[in-house]
Chains A and B, each alone.
Chain A
């Protein structure tokens, strides 16, 4: 940045490469958090493919459904479930940094968020259970 202070004439600048995150565990955790986006993207594609096949008609939709009943799909979705749950945790973990200056402990925000998600999930499945009986 230019300004009224002028830089030293002769200096040595160390290069920054794309591997900076490998050396510090704190950065590895950050990269893991960011990587959850890949799995949100993948699930968006699963859902999108379902909607597209639904629009294409009954036989296409049922072919899409058949894919979901394979063992591979089950393992895939179990892994995806775990990774999205990790996304939920990391999302609430950084939330205290985005709120205004308030008198609530960061840990309370994280706990509330995770517990609320768990509760909401149970309620949604319970309601679906009720209406499909």
Chain B
């Protein structure tokens, strides 16, 4: 076993893109010293501080909660703060910006498309009626919370979009995280926003673009299950299409 303090060196290929030159992206190789506890993010920071100050990448919290440092590591979407160089040594490591997103510079991608999609699903509670603070909180049982809790853990890191071939093939697809968050609010007992969100959900670019590849749920660092959120809503969208959902609600099922 290697001692935890021993310093080794690993080669990292990083995809570089310079918007000023406009030349197609190319790989640049860096030799990075690391120890047992060096994350890929710290490796990138070493490059920026000691080898090449022009390298651009996003990061913030260093502890897998801000969702800023998502990259493709050897072709797999991962948080670079949550991945360790020791697991790749002595082989080389390849780092690409998140798949399917336009590159702004080096590892920084343009998230605009996702932000607009997130906006479109109305990711906030739509209560039946607003009540004044004096009336107290909206109450909820643990059982009711269980219905949406998993989906509320999303940190918008976009690994699921990089993992989704359907998003890559058809970029108009609303995509895993936005649809999981759409369901997160629909599944909340305090929310009555189904009809406000159904346009997005029922459209071709809503749940129907999904073919249940399921890789979104595999790569999620917070164990959110977007594939489950989307595919149970294919059932809901179908029930809605044939008018069954309306029928169920008039006889008192659902919300």
Tell me if A82 is interfacial: C-beta within 8 Å of chain B.
no
Residue among B120, B165, B213, B218 with max Cβ neighbours from chain A (10 Å): B213
Contact between B110 and A1, CB atoms less than 8 A apart: no
Contact residues in A for B249 (Cβ distance below 8 Å): none
Interface size on A, residues (CB 8 A): 29
* Pairwise interchain contact A11-B102, C-beta atoms closer than 8 A: yes
A12 touches B24 (CB 8 A): yes
Q: Are A11 and B228 in contact (CB under 8 A)?
A: no
Q: Enumerate chain B residues within 8 angstroms of A13, measured Cβ to Cβ.
A: 102-103
Least CB distance, A93 to chain B, in whole angstroms? 9
Query: Counting CB contacts under 8 A, is A71 at the interface?
Result: no
A-contacting residues, B91-127, CB 8 Å: 99-100, 102-104, 110, 112-113, 115-117, 119-120
Task: Say yes or no: is B7 at the interface (Cβ < 8 Å to chain A).
Answer: no
Q: Contact at A14–B227, with CB atoms within 8 Å?
A: no
Structural contact, B116 and A4, CB atoms closer than 8 A: yes
Q: Check if A97 is an interface residue, CB within 8 A of chain B.
A: yes
Q: How many residues of B contact A (CB 8 A)?
A: 41
Closest-CB distance, A112 to chain B (whole angstroms):
18
- Given that A14-B99, A26-B215, A34-B211 are contacting pairs, would A4 and B168 also be in contact in the complex, using a CB cutoff of 8 Å? no
Which B residues lie within 8 Å of A11 (CB)? 19, 102-104, 110
Could you list 15 further interchain pairs (A-B, Cβ under 8 angstroms) beyond the known A11-B102, A16-B165, A27-B213? A3-B117, A3-B119, A3-B120, A7-B102, A7-B112, A7-B113, A8-B110, A8-B112, A11-B110, A12-B103, A13-B102, A97-B214, A98-B212, A100-B235, A101-B187
A16's nearest neighbour on chain B, judged by CB, is: B168
> Which residues of A45-81 are within 8 A (CB) of B?
none
Secondary structure of the A contact surface, majority rule: loop
Tell me the chain A residues, 1-39 only, with Cβ under 8 Å from chain B: 1-8, 10-14, 16, 20-21, 23-24, 26-27, 30, 34
A-side interface residues toward B, CB under 8 Å? 1-8, 10-14, 16, 20-21, 23-24, 26-27, 30, 34, 94, 96-101
Minimum C-beta distance from A120 to chain B (A): 23
With A and B bound together, what is the CA distance between A4 and B187 in angstroms?
26
Find residues 120-150 in chain B having any chain A CB closer than 8 Å to their own CB: 120, 146-147
Q: Is B17 an interface residue (CB 8 A)?
A: yes
Q: Let me know if A97 and B227 touch, CB within 8 A.
A: yes
8 A-B pairs whose Cβ atoms sit less than 8 Å apart in the complex: A1-B120, A3-B117, A7-B102, A12-B103, A13-B103, A97-B225, A97-B228, A98-B235
**Is residue B234 within 8 Å, beta carbon to beta carbon, of the partner chain?**
yes
A24 adjacent to B214 (CB under 8 Å): no
Residues of A within 8 A of B232 (CB): 97-101
Residues of B within 8 A of A10 (CB): 19, 22, 104
Cβ-defined contact, B112 with A6, below 8 A? yes
Q: Is the pair A1, B227 in contact by a Cβ cutoff of 8 Å?
A: no
Docked CA distance A23–B147 (Å) = 35
Nearest-neighbour CB distance to chain A for B85, whole angstroms, equals 22
Give the chain B neighbours of A30 by CB distance below 8 A. 213-215
B165 contacts which chain A residues (CB < 8 A)? 16, 20-21, 27
Which residue of B is nearest A2, CB measured? B116
CB-based contact A96/B102 at 8 Å: no
Determine if B172 is an interface residue (Cβ-Cβ < 8 Å).
yes
- Residues of chain A contacted by B17 (CB below 8 angstroms): 12
Pair A27/B116 contact, Cβ less than 8 Å: no
Which of B120, B168, B172, B211 is in CB contact (< 8 Å) with A20? B168
A3 contacts which chain B residues (CB < 8 A)? 115-117, 119-120
